[in-house]
Structures are given as C-alpha cells and as structure tokens.
Chains A and B, each alone.
Chain A
C-alpha cells in the first residue's frame, strides 16, 4: 500500500500515475520507481516462481544482488525489478513454472 502521509517526509506528491501491465493487468505506478515497488504497492508480493518446483519468490535484498525479484520486462527475461525503474507502458510477465504459465504453453 502507498504511504500517502508521513511525519518526516510529508505528503506524497501527487504526480499523475503511469500504468504498467503486469501479467495482463494494468497497475498504476510512479514513473522512475523500481518496478517491484509499484507491484508491491498494488498489493502483490509474489514476483516470480522458481523454475523447477514453481515456488513463489519476492523481493529479498532490494539492492539488485539476490535476483529473487526477476521478471520478464518487455520481452527481456531475468530483469531485476527491485532496481529497474518503471517506464509507462512496460509489459511485465511473471517467470517460472506457475500453473497459469503451464496452461498458457
């Protein structure tokens, strides 16, 4: 969820949202924030599934080292969403052996 008011940082400035598409769903984002921040703000913590066993994973380190947050962004696989800035219109797809993905294939 978004932190709109903050005792030190003040109110969140009201920049108009941009939209990104995550697994076919449009979600609002703040241009330039990491992709993972936008997805977590939309209420979703799971960002990928492991390839073999399909276990869910999300952000762990938040500094681009652990690679647990990787997703496919505009066709490019394994993009670290915790350090990759949002651009309007990005198409993002969850990677890994999810049942949804298997049904698609």
Chain B
C-alpha cells in the first residue's frame, strides 16, 4: 500500500478530526508500524509464486494429514484446558470470599512467568526416572512409576504444560471482565435459580467473549510454539516447517506449510470476531454496585482452596521447586560471566523492544481511534501475522531484508561500521517488535475502548491539539493499559526462544538461549540457574504491575 493511498483514504474518512489532518505524526507512526510488521513477509513473498518444492507432493500426500491432526489436537486440547482452568478460577476468585483469596489473586498470575518449554523440562525432571518423586517411591516403597508415566502420550504432556502455564491469559481477561459487572444481574439470577444454574445460564454466556479471546490468544501461542513441541517430538505445523525448510532444505514446501498455518490462524481470528460480535453483553447501569463476593466456609472453602492451590502448584511452584532442586545439584560453576551477561542483555533488550512496541502500538491505536480509515481494520488484523507466523520463518525474513538494507546503508553512509544493522541487536529488537506488536496494540486498544472519544473531543474543542490532548488527557486515563501492555510484552520477550537463538549478535546469549543450549546437550540440571532468572524476573515484573495496577479498580467508563 502506498503512502499516498493511505493519506487519501484517511483524508476522506468520516471522523471528527479529519478536516486537515489526513497526514500527521500519528498516522505516520501507524503507517510505519504496519510497514515494519509487513516487511519481513514481503522479503519472503517471492516464495509464494515459485513452483512447489520437490518434497511438496510427498509431504502433501503422506504427512499433511498427520500435521493437521496433531496440530489441531494439541491446540484445541490446550485451548479447552486453559478455558476450563481460566474461567473456573476467575469465577471462583471473583465471586467468592475465602481464606487466602488475596494471596491467590496475586499468585495465579505467576505461571505466566514460566516459559512453557522450561515447564516441560521441569516436569521431565520432576516425574522422570531420576526425578525426586520416582527416586523416593523406589527407595522407600519399592514402587515404580516408570510404566505409568510412559503410558501418558506426548501430546497429553504438551497439553498439560501449555495448560498450566498459559491459563492466566484466560483467567486475567475473564477476571477483568467480571470485576466490572453489575451486581444486579447476578443477584437477580441468583434469586431466580441456584448457583450452578447461575453459572450455566448467566455466567457462561456473559464470560464467553472474554474467555474465547483469552483461549484464542493461547491457541496462537501454541500454534507458534517450537520449544515444547520439539521437546516432546510432536509433528505440529511449526516443527514440520522446520523439518521441511531446514531438514529437507526445501524452502518452498516450508512456505506452503506456513501458509496453511496462517490459514488456521486467520480462521481462529475469524471465529473470535464472530463470537465477539454476536455476543457482546455489557451491562452498564448508572447506579454502579459492583459484584460483592460471597463468603465461603467449610467444605466449599476447602474445595476452592484445593483447586486454586493445585493450579498454582502445577503452573508455578512445581517448576520453580524442580529448578531449585537442580540448582542445588549444579550451582558449582553455574554463576559464570555468561550468565551475568545473558541476564543483563535479556533485560536490556526486552526493555528496549517493549518500549518501542508500546510507542508504536500507542501511536497506531490512537491513529486508528481518531483518524479512522478504511484500511485501519485490515491493517491491524494484518499485524497479527507477526504473532502467528513461526519465529524461524520470521527470523529468516528479517535477515533477508536487512542484509539487503545493509548494502544500501553501506553505499550511502560509508563512515558507519560494516554490516551496521545485521551485526547489532537491531535485528533482534526489530523481530521482537514484529512478533509482539499485536500484544501491545491490543492492550492499548482495549484501554482506548474503555475511555471512548468523549474526553479527547472535549479537549480538542477546548483548543488542545491532538498530541497535547493525548499527553494531558488520554495518557493518564489509559496508563494502566499502557503499563499492563508493557508488562505483557516484556514478559513475552523474556520467554521468547527461537528469535533470540537466531538473531542475537555475536558473543551474546539471552537467558532463553542459555537454557536451550544446556537442554540441547541433555544436561537439564544445568538449565536451573538461567531458568530461575527468567522465572523470577518475570514474576517480579508481574507482581509489580499488579501493585501499579491497584488503582485500576476505580475505572473510568460509564461515569
């Protein structure tokens, strides 16, 4: 799309602000952000028009069905599993008062700090033949679990690992939704029927949009996963793309597979949109009385505690303890300069990338809000591409593009160091930007959706410009969305593996690549320290945003 076309469309859009501002700083940020997200795909697009690779007929006839089944099984399995855990927890924690509720309110977010592949290593260590549990049972009861654990298929392990580490996406969205629901609806429903009926007839339909939004986010994450699938040897699309491209050396077949994967992703996004449009119940009444939780005692309280406790144990405590156990075995010689460097580099590069993403996301979201154009909706959907495409494919696209760009730069600015972009962290920051833009964008967009345009328009009427309005009026009102978005993006980058593996500059490691190298050498106990660094920095960050976000309870909509 050309700049002129965008400017043209923007100029003719029906909007409050569109008089003479078809082309301004905000729309420029938007155009730039979309261009960046699309660039690496343009670099690969050539592959679409080339004839099918030599392995394609074989892959199509013999393997495609297996890829489909396995991918759908694991993705849907994980989706249903996170849906059950996430909605169940949100329901229980939002609507009930019980001992330890405040603790669990914080604790149940923490599994988000555990990358699924690290959880997979931890579970292998915990439940494997040489793990603490089996050794204990063997030594004291002469009882072997080996037969049992081997009967559990790899797909089930993968679904379990995804489920217990990714459910907070669903939990958080559902919980945020429930927090802002009017009590009247629930109280009336309660008067008319029992609690089970309440959940089935009122709760589920109400929660449907936010729950499915979370579930689909998890599904996208699973579709793009490489670490867990390769650990368990699953033949999902992502691993198949790796095998075709890098194993068989057949880029054309790989790109075809990637296209099918993208098809799946778009299908998922369509479903989300359909569900969202069909069932958007927002009960906002003028007399706000927020839901007050019901006090639980006795057995119900014990049951709820058990549920919350088990989920927390499975998603956070168990991986953490296993890593601590391994650290006890491997701490000698584990505190290396490599680790310090990796910690510093990972935190630095994650912060820088998160900052850029949030600037781009805020610019884009604000432009879409104020300077609507016919292209804004398809473009923001298109940005999801970056999140959906396998990281290795994205990485190769980024490399292809910027190696070319470097040649131009060298010709124009001969005083810059050779291979200026591709030798620096620029590649990695850029790729993170492409991949996680949509996460930041969705947070900011949700923030803007809450406050609407009334305040901005009032401020404009009073003579403030768009930028001044944003800084003085909008930004303070959406600061929680901005902080929350930054946190999500930061943690996602912290957990990311394949991009870091392929794009980091010479002599640098990210925490993720350190973990991966040890695991790749089958020395799982050595993964302890870098894994703990990831988990703990993620956890600290999550808790901080929880504390910062305290004021979020008094939200601004509807007043």
Q: A and B from one assembly?
A: no
